[in-house]
């Protein structure tokens, strides 16, 4: 079968993905340390400062995470066709149909599957939810990071109640990301194996493949 090569993800989109993904790996590891330091803490204040250093790396990764989320919001509004919010949100009849057909395909109830260049709608909706959760994570993070800032504190207190409650919300949200990563990696590999579109390589090089003259492969 002949395939056409189509550029689907811009360089900014791919940078966002890897900025987001790698910063989360750092944030989870350093976050676990902040929660429950596993080094012998009496070395703190000697010649090494593991907690201070890991907190510093947590905040650095936090800024990469924030930049990736902001850039992705920009792409939701001004990115290419596949990157815009309406492409994967269930707001058109075609997208609602795709949402249900993807679910039936995922539970092996059918082999028919509408191939799309962008995300399928189930994935797109999950990613949208993930960015909403990411916004809550960074807001609770900045609220804890700048206790002296009236801008962050004036609405942070009504929202979270106290610093400790924000910390609890922040901790719970970490588990959302851990769950997301496991399911996400399983599903991208599963999709890549079942449908030869070049899904995984597309998040590195930006290209996907669509069968020539295949009317079911929607642009």
Q: List b or e across 147-157, with b for residues whose CB sees 16 or more CB atoms inside 10 angstroms.
A: eeeeebeeebe
Q: How far apart are CA 111 and CA 138, in angstroms?
A: 40
Q: How far apart are CA 26 and CA 55, in angstroms?
A: 11
Using CB under 6 A as the binding rule, whether residue 73 contacts ligand HEM is answered as: no
Task: Choose between 48 and 147: whose C-beta lies nearer to ligand HEM.
Answer: 147
Pair 185, 152: CB distance under 8 Å: no
Q: How far apart are CA 160 and CA 169, in angstroms?
A: 8
* Stretch of residues binding ligand HEM (CB under 6 A), selected from 90-98, 100-108, 130-138, 211-219: 130-138
Task: Choose between 27 and 217: whose C-beta lies nearer to ligand HEM.
Answer: 27
Instruction: Work out which of 177, 198, 209, 210 binds ligand HEM, going by CB under 6 A.
Output: 177
Task: Choose between 71 and 211: whose C-beta lies nearer to ligand HEM.
Answer: 71
Reference 123, options 78, 186, 194, 167; nearest CA is 186
For residue 95 the two structure tokens come to 């997208």
Pair 7, 207: CB distance under 8 Å: yes
Site for ligand HEM in 100-129 (CB under 6 A): 119, 123, 127
Minimum distance, C-beta of residue 210 to ligand HEM, in the bound complex (Å): 13
Minimum distance, C-beta of residue 182 to ligand HEM, in the bound complex (Å): 10
Using CB under 6 A as the binding rule, whether residue 176 contacts ligand HEM is answered as: no
Reference 84, options 184, 10, 191; nearest CA is 10
* Stretch of residues binding ligand HEM (CB under 6 A), selected from 57-65, 90-98, 102-110, 210-218: 57-65
Using CB under 6 A as the binding rule, whether residue 130 contacts ligand HEM is answered as: yes
Q: Measured over all CA atoms, what is the biggest interatomic distance in the chain, rounded to whole angstroms?
A: 68
Classify 197 as helix, strand or coil. Answer: coil
The position carrying tokens 């902001």 is 70
* Stretch of residues binding ligand HEM (CB under 6 A), selected from 26-34, 37-45, 92-100, 150-158: 26-34
Chain residues that interact with ligand HEM, rule: CB under 6 A:
17, 20-21, 24, 27-28, 31-32, 34-35, 55, 58-59, 62, 65-66, 72, 119, 123, 127, 130, 137-138, 141-142, 144-145, 167, 170-171, 174, 177, 180-181, 184-185, 188, 199-200, 202-203
């Amino acid at each position: 079968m002949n395939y056409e090569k189509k550029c689907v993800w811009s360089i900014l989109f791919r940078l966002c993905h890897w900025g987001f993904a790698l910063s989360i790996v750092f944030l989870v590891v350093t976050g676990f340390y902040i929660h429950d330091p596993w080094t012998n803490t009496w070395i703190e204040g000697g010649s090494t400062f593991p907690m201070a250093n890991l907190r510093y790396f947590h905040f650095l990764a936090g800024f990469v995470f924030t930049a990736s989320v902001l850039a992705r919001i920009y792409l939701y509004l001004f990115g290419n066709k596949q990157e815009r919010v309406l492409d994967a949100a269930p707001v058109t009849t075609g997208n609602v149909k795709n949402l249900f057909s993807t679910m039936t395909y995922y539970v092996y109830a059918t082999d028919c599957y509408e191939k799309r260049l962008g995300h399928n709608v189930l994935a797109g909706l999950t990613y949208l939810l993930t960015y909403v959760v990411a916004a809550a994570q960074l807001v609770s993070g900045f609220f804890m990071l700048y206790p002296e800032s009236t801008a962050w504190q004036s609405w942070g207190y009504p929202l979270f109640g106290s610093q400790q409650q924000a910390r609890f919300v922040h901790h719970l949200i970490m588990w959302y990301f851990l769950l997301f990563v496991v399911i996400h990696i399983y599903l991208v590999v599963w999709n890549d194996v079942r449908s030869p579109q070049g899904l995984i390589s597309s998040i590195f090089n930006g290209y996907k493949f669509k069968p020539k003259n295949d009317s079911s492969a929607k642009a």
